[in-house]
Chain A
Amino acid sequence: MPDTNASTHGQAAVIGLDQSAGDFTYDVKYDYDAGKGLSENTIRYISAVKKEAPWLLDFRLAALKIFLSKPMPTHWATRDLDTLDFSKIRYYLAQGQKPKRTWDEVPDDIKKTFERLGVPEQERKFLAGVEAQFDSEAAYSNVKELVAKQGVIFMNSTEALAKHPDIFRKFFGKVIPSADNKFAALNSAVFSGGSFIYVPPGVKVAQPLQAYFRINAENFGQFERTLIIADEGAELTYMEGCTAPKFSTSTLHSAVVELVALKDAKIQYITVQNWAPNVFNLVTKRGVAHGNAEIKWIDCNIGSRLTMKYPGVVLKGRRARGEVVSIALANDGQHQDTGAKMIHLADDTTSTIVSKSISIGAGRASYRGHVHVAKGLKNCKNNTECDALLINTNSRTDTYPAITVRGDANRTQHEASVSKVSAEQIFYMQQRGLTEAQAMSLSVNGFVNDLVNRFPMEYSVELKRLIDLEMEGSVG
């Protein structure tokens, strides 16, 4: 790892997802650039560059109309959204159209970017495949032979549209229609990049599939579109880590992620979000779980200026299960508006939401949840727990759940608590020689420990270090 990082943050050099490690930009020459602003022409341009089928252009143009017609959701969401200027954003930018196949083919300057980010070559040994998105398009992808042999399709969504149009079209835009919300419509109009995964029936992918995303141009919005389908009885874990360089003006990131878990399938989707503190991260993530299927979102938000993200599960088949595990860390100038949605549409479905947030300095963490049990169902259960920890006197936390239950044969339970770090704990640790800052850090790590441990090993180690880093300077 380069020494330059170590000088800014003591432990930064060893942390792959450390925010400051993304605090650089290379002067990359962009082959395709749709310019700033959004119009029908922008979309025709994107579609033409990508040589897309006519149906997709129509889909994009219809989505643009929806985007333009929908108001900003500021009747419930933060007014900070009004500072977004859609005319100043670049909607498409690509290094090249064809994803690079091997590490050797990846241009040197991009390699440097990934090295700085801590996507080390040796990590690929442990990961089944790496699909790293560099700006709009995947810069390289490397699906291990083993996974491909199992029949698993793992590629970027542009490539999938060309190679597997039938399966792509069958599921695309079904879980999250363009009209779902303003930003899903925006994504549907201008999306590029993102992953497509199809796991055939009965295939259990042993290693997690992983993709890194990067934003590397000022005012450039990243609109990846991810579609993951686990066929009957299939199992898959997908990991997504984010880091972006710091910029002077705001950057918009608006992804759409659709998951489909067919009968008896299991999907686990892990995100560590660590965008630079000027990024608006407005994401729609939802999965449909069919009979006896399971979808689990593990979501950790540390970076960005404003994140609005409520991963959801539509429990469509009997005995489907949904789970959201959410950790949010809001520091000065940050608003983590995160949560979960659970829509029960079949008997015997169960869902669990566990959310923990930490507000540091003037940071604001909000939990927003929606639990819905539809008419005429029985034996549906939801359990929601939200805990918030406030570090400083000016820290802020909010909880906004909405729970609708019809019928006496269902049961939901929501509990939330807000507290500060226990003075007794800090005193105890200080007595044993820890500084106040160390004690504070340890206490905060203890608060989220049970959730952090549910992340894969490499993530949980990074997370703990990241929390230490964020806690620096919050005391005294």
Chain B
Amino acid sequence: MSANETYISKRLFQRHLDSVGRARLPEWWLDTQRAAWDAHLGLPHPGPTDETWRFTDTEAIRLSGFEPFPTADLLGALPAGQLRAPAPVKPPPGVVYCTLNEAIAKHADLFRAYFRARPAALGGEKFAELNAAFAACGAFLYVPDGVELTTPLFARHVLNGHNIAAFPHTLVILGKNASATLVEVFDTEYGDRLLASGVSDLHAASGARLTYIGIQNWGRQATAFHSNATSVAQDANVTTLNLHLGARYARHESHTRLDAPGGRAEILALTHADANRRLDQRTLQTHSAPDTYSNLLYKNALRDTSKTVFSGLINVEPDAQRTDAYQSNRNLLLSPDAEANSLPGLEIQANDVRCTHGATTGGIDPEQAYYMAARGIPPETANALLVEGFFEEVLGKIPERPRAPVEATLRAALARGGR
């Protein structure tokens, strides 16, 4: 489809700008949003010959009739139990942890230095521009050089209603040798037809350590796009885990850049797809410096008539010698009608590297099913146990502290669907 197409009317964009003005946000921010709106209009809706949308029915995600509406953002410390209300938190001096609008108003220099500085561009640019045009919610975390946050932080973005669209934008900036953990949940309590186009960009300066967990749990009728870019500087160590539990159609793009020697990234994702849901994951691991490491592991469990697409690429640039890069996509099919598409790609332009990728797709191992049956475990319970076991490999890579509540959320989603 041609450019100038949008999913939200110009009138509603004008209304959004008015609200930004009323919130007394600075003029540069209005300019930024106007530029993004123009860029959004200038990009075409993805079509059937776009390689970055291969295996996706792009006509089925043609959208209209949404009204922008920001998420309710609940920010605090990670609670011990359910991932609902955040626990109170008092960050150490220098640390900034606030909503997006507060960051724009109070920390403009910092915000502007990093906002969309190095975005992902894996095909969803039209939706990322839409996010920038309407962004009015999300979280902002800045941890200065040398500060180590021991308390994991938590942000919950809630979107409830009908025919509304939200554009959460999260920006995480870790200074040199800083460390932090952030768990974000994108949630719907009630509502049916929703649109979400989110962005979470992560910047880890040299020596920084970051654990980021994003849990997409939008309502089951939602159409959701999400763009994630992770920059890993020298000797920095970043672990990202994205859980895909909600939405009717969800697309998640993730670009991890290893820019300087010693950078390490663990890139993880778990998907539970049931009913007629569509999950679309596109990843890129760019190694542009020598002696970097990245390890991607995406696991999808598919029930009913669900369909997933995993399209990944490891790009080792010339001179990025001694790169260690791995990419693995495992699909567990749990019904005769589920469909998994896997496109694990490599583009290697340096010779002294260790790169492997793998993709496997299959049902439950009959031997494991037999083992369970022989011990009197009913098929449904056995099935659930085996799916949990399937996910355990990924969860095991997450530090103890954020893991328990994340696991609980995942278990609740597994219990909700499919059985």
Contact = CB atoms under 8 A, between A and B. Distances in A.
Interface of A: 75-76, 375-376, 378, 388, 390-420
28 contacts: A75-B51, A375-B339, A388-B346, A390-B348, A394-B318, A395-B351, A397-B348, A398-B345, A399-B357, A401-B343, A401-B345, A402-B55, A403-B342, A405-B362, A406-B336, A406-B339, A407-B336, A408-B336, A410-B333, A413-B359, A413-B362, A414-B344, A415-B357, A415-B358, A416-B356, A419-B353, A420-B351, A420-B353
A351 B111 CA distance: 53
A416 B348 contact: no
Given A413-B360, A416-B346, A408 B341 contact: no
B57 interface: no
B355 interface: yes
A408 B50 contact: no
A393 B339 contact: no
A415 B321 contact: no
A24 B359 CA distance: 46
Nearest to A384: B359
A75 B49 contact: yes
A376 B352 CA distance: 44
A352 to B, nearest CB: 15
A140 B354 CA distance: 50
B163 interface: no
Contacts of B361: 403, 405, 410-413
A389 to B, nearest CB: 9
- Among all A-B residue pairs, the 5 with the closest Cβ atoms: A408-B363, A390-B351, A411-B362, A408-B333, A399-B346
Q: Is the interface of A mostly helix, strand, loop or mixed?
A: strand
Contacts of B346: 388, 397-399, 416, 418
Interface residues of B, number: 41
Interface string B45-61: 00001110011000000
Contacts of B221: none
Contacts of A398: 345-348
B151 interface: no
Contacts of B353: 390, 418-420
B345 A414 contact: no
Nearest to A410: B362
Contacts of B318: 393-394
A411 B363 contact: yes
Contacts of A417: 355-356
Contact of A414 (B51, B334, B342, B355): B342
A393 B321 contact: yes
B43 interface: no
A396 B360 contact: no
Given A390-B350, A414-B360, A416-B356, 18 more contacts: A378-B336, A397-B346, A399-B344, A400-B345, A402-B341, A402-B342, A403-B359, A407-B333, A407-B335, A408-B335, A410-B363, A411-B360, A411-B362, A413-B360, A413-B361, A416-B344, A417-B355, A420-B351
A331 B269 CA distance: 38
Interface string B133-167: 00000000000000000000000000000000000
Nearest to A399: B346
B419 to A, nearest CB: 15
B204 interface: no
A399 B321 CA distance: 19
A391 B336 contact: no
A418 B363 contact: no
Contacts of B234: none
B288 interface: no
A89 B360 CA distance: 44
Contact of B356 (A76, A408, A413, A418): A418
B166 to A, nearest CB: 32
B340 A405 contact: yes
Interface string B300-327: 0000000000000000001101000000
Contact of B50 (A75, A396, A405, A407): A75
B337 interface: yes
A76 B55 CA distance: 14
A306 to B, nearest CB: 17
A394 B349 CA distance: 6
Contacts of A407: 333, 335-338, 363
Given A395-B351, A397-B348, A417-B356, A404 B341 contact: yes
Nearest to A423: B352
Nearest to B325: A418
Contacts of B95: none
Nearest to B332: A408
A388 B346 CA distance: 11
B345 A408 contact: no
Given A376-B336, A399-B357, A416-B358, A409 B343 contact: no
A67 B55 CA distance: 25
B49 to A, nearest CB: 5
Nearest to A392: B351
B364 interface: yes
Given A397-B346, A407-B333, A416 B357 contact: yes
A363 to B, nearest CB: 11
A399 B340 contact: no
Nearest to B305: A406
B409 interface: no
Contacts of A419: 353-355
A76 B50 CA distance: 9
User: Which of A395, A405, A417 has the most CB atoms of chain B within a 10 A radius of its CB?
Assistant: A405
Contacts of A396: 347-349
Nearest to B342: A403
Contacts of A405: 331, 333, 339-340, 361-362
A392 B343 CA distance: 27
A418 B326 CA distance: 10
A407 B351 CA distance: 39
Contacts of B337: 375, 406-407
A351 to B, nearest CB: 14
B352 to A, nearest CB: 6
Contacts of B54: 402
Most buried by B among A375, A376, A396: A396
Nearest to B334: A408
A364 to B, nearest CB: 9
Nearest to B352: A420
Contacts of A411: 360-363
Interface in B181-213: none
